[in-house]
Amino acid sequence: MAKLYFYYAAMNAGKSTTLLQADFNYRERGMETMLWTAAHDDRGGTGTISSRIALSAPAHTYDEGVDLFASIGEELKKRSLDCILVDEAQFLTQVHVLQLCEVADSLSIPVLCYGLRTDFQGKLFPGSAALLALADNLVELKAVCECGRKATMNLRVDSEGHAVAAGAQTEIGGNDRYIALCRKHFFQRLREGEERQLSLGLPRA
Residues involved in catalysis? 88
Which H helix or E strand runs over 180? strand 178-181
Residues constituting the chain = 205
* DSSP 8-state code for residue 43: T
Helices (H) and strands (E) in the chain, counts: 5, 12
Q: Longest Cα pair distance anywhere in the chain, in angstroms?
A: 59
How far apart CA 102 and CA 139 sit, in angstroms, is 20
- From residue 131, how far is each of 51, 79, 154, 183, 188 by CA, in Å? 22, 27, 18, 22, 28
Q: How far are the Cα atoms of 135, 180, 184, 186 from residue 146, in angstroms, in the given order?
A: 31, 8, 11, 11
Give the helix, strand, coil percentages of the chain, each rounded to 5: 30, 25, 45
